[in-house]
């Protein structure tokens, strides 16, 4: 499991894909959302700022300490309900407009079951956003960052997500990838050092691309 410093650095360097997703989806005030695997809390906070006091964010994480920390921060922006649940067993007291996860499926045993559970808590016509990495595509100079692969159950799940979503009969409305790049003493190199203990000097770094998949839950 990544340490706290690594998680905070990750949230910083991958902030742009999160902002892109919320802008493209045109999330509005009053939406009800769930942040599945709330982790470092950047998603819960970003959603809370958009949905505002009339909206609601469910912060779901299997780690109660982390979940409570996320909820405390996000509660400054919106109504937050913190739940200690595994993603595969998630149950909410009401349907939501949006289910969002990032850096979650690469660590779970059954990614299909998690996406299926996410779809089950979303209203008909609502949305799912999944942001997952393709770890093997990361580079230090021209070399692959192989040290990252051993820490994850599904290191390249990002490229598989569109197939999972289609398999579950969800409508993909948008899909793209973004990769943070840095040279020298940058947040990108510091994040990589925190994750791998590899000392980065003057080599350019391209972190694993984050694939964003946006899908709509069908109306029945």
Q: What is the pTM of this model?
A: 0.89
Mean pLDDT of 114-133: 97
Please state, in angstroms and rounded to a whole number, the distance separating the CA atoms of residues 208 and 178.
9
- pLDDT tens figures, 2-41: 555 456 667 778 888 888 999 999 899 999 999 999 877 7
Structural tokens at position 24: 């493209």
Residues facing 82 on adjacent strands? 59
Query: Does the pLDDT at position 84 exceed 50?
Result: yes
Between helix 15-25 and helix 42-51 the angle, nearest 10°, is 30
Evaluate whether 118 touches 101 at the Cβ level (below 8 Å). Answer: yes
Query: Does the pLDDT at position 132 exceed 90?
Result: yes
Model pLDDT, residue 42 = 81
Question: Fold for domain 4-215?
Answer: Rossmann fold (3.40.50)
Evaluate whether 193 touches 178 at the Cβ level (below 8 Å). Answer: no
Model pLDDT, residue 149 = 55
Evaluate whether 137 touches 215 at the Cβ level (below 8 Å). Answer: no
Q: Indicate the domain borders of the chain.
A: 4-215
């Amino acid at each position: 499991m990544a340490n706290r410093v690594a998680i905070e650095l990750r949230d910083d360097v991958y902030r742009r894909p999160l902002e892109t997703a919320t802008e493209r989806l045109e999330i509005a005030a009053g939406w009800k959302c769930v942040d599945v695997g709330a982790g470092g809390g950047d998603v819960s906070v970003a959603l809370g700022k958009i949905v505002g006091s009339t909206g609601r964010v469910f912060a779901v994480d299997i780690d109660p300490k982390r979940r409570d920390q996320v909820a405390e921060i996000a509660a400054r922006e919106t109504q937050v309900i913190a739940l200690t649940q595994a993603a595969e067993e998630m149950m909410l007291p009401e349907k939501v407009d949006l289910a969002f996860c990032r850096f979650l499926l690469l660590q779970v045993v059954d990614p299909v079951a998690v996406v299926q559970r996410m779809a089950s808590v979303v209203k008909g016509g609502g949305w799912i956003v999944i942001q997952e990495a393709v770890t093997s595509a990361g580079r230090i100079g021209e070399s692959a960052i192989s040290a990252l692969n051993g820490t994850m159950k599904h290191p390249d799940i990002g490229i598989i997500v569109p197939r999972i979503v289609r398999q579950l009969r969800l409508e993909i409305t948008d899909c793209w990838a973004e990769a943070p790049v840095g040279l020298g003493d940058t947040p990108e190199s510091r994040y990589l050092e925190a994750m791998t203990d590899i000392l980065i000097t003057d080599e350019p770094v391209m972190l694993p691309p984050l694939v964003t998949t946006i899908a709509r839950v069908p109306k029945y």
